[in-house]
Amino acid sequence: MTLLDSAVWSKKFYSGGWRDAAATRPVTEPATGDRLGTVGLATPEDVGRAATRAAEAQRAWAATPPQQRAAVLRRAGELLTEHAAEAEDWLIREAGSVRAKAAFEVGLAIGEFFECAGLPSHPQGEVLTSQTPRWSFARRRPAGVVSVIAPFNFPLILGLRSVAPALALGNAVLLKPDPRTAVSGGVAIARVLQEAGLPEGVLHLLPGDGAVGQAVVEAPEVRVISFTGSTPVGRAIAEQAGRLLKRAHLELGGNNALVVLPGADVAKAAAAGAFGSYLHQGQICMTTGRHIVHHSLIEEYTAALAAKAKALPVGDPAREDVALGPIIDRRQLERVHSIVTDSVAAGATLAAGGEITGACYRATVLTDLTTDMPAWREEIFGPVAPVIGFSTIDDAARIVDDCAYGLSVGILGDVGTAMTLADRIDTGKVHINEQTVDDEPNAPFGGVKASGTGSRFGGATANLEAFTETQWVTVRPDIADYPF
């Protein structure tokens, strides 16, 4: 069986089965511009009908025994394992992933299914004390219908990390993937769950434009919105959700810092820095966007990082053995280049890269920066490594926190010094003697400040908080006496 056979999904969306779409969009390979297929797009009216169906199907799904819900998630993990190569190929061609990144992402997705298979039987409440002779409980109940809006960069896992726990906990889901990666980030999820036995109507795949995104937020049946994407769009969703009194869990941008402490192994630090900045062309919210290096090491570190950048091949990952594939589209490619050229015009020095090669951008290192330059202040979402120096731990802490974002920080070198620094900085994640890009299905994930609303992904605690509501229940042996 071919899981992603286009005969199943071409020109269709998934809502109570595969339905013909009124509008379509070509699936385009960013490395070549070749057409890979045609996906169906939903309309706001389709979203309204899907939300109604989802609310109806959710009640039966929530009443399904926990073991049966767990079995669907486990079977989905098994199916994705069997079809891993197929999913990887789509990530390579549609999302521009190099093969190692695609394999890593599919592995995360498989782990997410298996991790979430444990959620239906996880303890979902507390026994409370009470001042009166009764039993008192706080129990977790499914939120109802959850909308998931996912981005293009890690399309499979960044959609699935909300879809899987929401389903496991008894919710129905409206999934809106980025239209640029609607197969690897949408069709793949719908197909694997369909084949795993998820009842029709519980999951709806609704690719579309901004109007569809607004519709999946505003549908009256939706109680929770889980969004991963840019900070400006996240702010707009938060405003809509607040007006509608809905919960919005937001995982947004990042401009993450890698701090290289005095005495650190420079060769290993440069390898960590290159991985953090150049994995998936820097198109990751956790990408190392700021290299903060002690003055005693900055010259040696910059030279080592630049040497690695110059040695990394770029090209079409479907046809060549490359380290960096294409930027997702021409608009983003030109934005990356403009940030680099604007920073050089402002006085930064180009130590490596800074070149457009076809649909790709070469791994880039910038030095001699000031903290007001665009390459330092902005989330670039490209393979660019800006380097700046620091003198003291106080200096390093100030530079790390002088940023609108607070998602991930890596600290390389002496562990005691790193622990001291970690206690002083404001960030959702800290990795000591590792770079900034990391994720595991059982670990809480989220940021602070402009990076989002905290850890609402990963692990039982975060998932229960994200996708259930708390209900207080009391029980007495007899009807209570009242003074009225």
| Residue 467 falls inside a structural domain | yes
Asked if the structure places residue 261 within a domain, the reply is yes
Q: Examine the domain organization and report whether 92 and 239 are in the same domain.
A: yes
- Using one digit for the tens of pLDDT, what is the confidence trace for 418-474? 999 999 999 999 999 999 999 999 999 999 999 999 877 898 999 999 999 999 999
441-447 CB contacts, 8 Å cutoff, 24+ apart: 441/108, 441/111, 441/112, 441/114, 441/115, 441/116, 441/161, 442/115, 445/161, 445/251, 446/251, 446/407, 447/251, 447/252, 447/254, 447/405, 447/406, 447/407, 447/408
pLDDT of residue 351: 98
* CA-only gyration radius of the chain, Å: 24
Asked if 60 and 111 sit in the same domain, the reply is yes
Residues 427 and 315 in one domain: yes
Q: How much is the pLDDT for 1?
A: 67
Q: Record the pTM.
A: 0.96
Judge if 117 and 262 occupy the same domain: no
Q: Could you tell me if residue 441 is inside a domain?
A: no
Predicted confidence (pLDDT) at residue 268 exceeds the cutoff of 80: yes
- Can 251 be counted among the known catalytic residues? yes
Q: Which amino acid is at 378?
A: E
Catalytic residue selected from 88, 105, 112, 285:
285
Give yes or no: residues 181 and 274 share one domain. Answer: no
**Measuring CA to CA, which residue among 236, 245, 79, 77 is closest to residue 149?**
236
Do 329 and 469 fall into the same domain? no
Q: What pLDDT was estimated at residue 27?
A: 97
- Are 210 and 268 in the same domain? no
What does 255-319 look like in DSSP terms, one character per residue?
A: -EEEEE-TT--HHHHHHHHHHHHHGGGG-STT-EEEEEEETTTHHHHHHHHHHHHHH--BS-TTT
User: Is pLDDT of 281 > 90?
Assistant: yes
Question: For residue 149, what are its two tokens?
Answer: 């809006």
Q: What is the mean pLDDT of the chain?
A: 97
Q: Are residues 131 and 210 in the same domain?
A: yes
Residue 174 lies in a domain: yes
Domain region containing 96 = 6-252+452-473
Give 128-152 pLDDT, tens digit per residue.
999 999 999 999 999 999 999 999 9
Q: How far is CA 223 from the centre of its chain?
A: 21
Evaluate if residue 355 carries a pLDDT over 90: yes
Q: Clarify whether residues 369 and 232 are in a common domain.
A: no
Task: Give me the phi and psi of 149, to 5 degrees please.
Answer: -115, 120
Contact 268, 276 (CB under 8 A): no
Q: 24: which strand partners? A: 40
Catalytic site residue from 251, 360, 379, 403: 251
Angstrom CA distances, 356 to 168, 288, 335, stand at 44, 20, 11
> pLDDT > 70: what percent of the chain?
100
Q: Is the dihedral of CA 312, 313, 314, 317 positive or negative?
A: negative
Active site residue 285: yes
Average pLDDT for 397-409? 97
84/184 same-domain check: yes
β-pairing verdict for 468-475 and 408-412: unpaired
Q: Per-residue DSSP letters for 341-384? A: HHHHHTT-EEEE---EETTEE--EEEES--TTSHHHHS---SSE
Sequence-separated (6 or more) residues with CB below 8 Å from residue 453: 238, 248, 249, 250, 446
* In contact, 11 and 300? CB cutoff 8 Å: no
Inform me whether the pLDDT recorded for 377 exceeds 70.
yes
- The residue behind tokens 């609303």 is 453
264: CATH: 3.40.309.10
Residue 57 clears pLDDT 70, i.e. is over it = yes
In a domain, 443, yes or no: no
Domain-embedded: residue 446: no
Regarding whether 143 and 22 lie in a shared domain, the answer is yes
pLDDT at 476: 97
What pLDDT is attached to residue 454? Answer: 82
CATH label of the domain that carries residue 469: 3.40.605.10
In percent, the amount of the chain with pLDDT more than 90 equals 98
Same domain (yes/no): 110, 75: yes
Contact between 395 and 244 (Cβ < 8 Å) = no
Could you tell me how far CA 148 lies from the centroid of its own chain? Answer: 11
Q: Are 335 and 324 in contact (CB under 8 A)?
A: no
Report yes or no: 451 and 234 within 8 Å, Cβ to Cβ. no
Q: How many domains does the chain have?
A: 2
Any domain includes 482: no
In a domain, 401, yes or no: yes
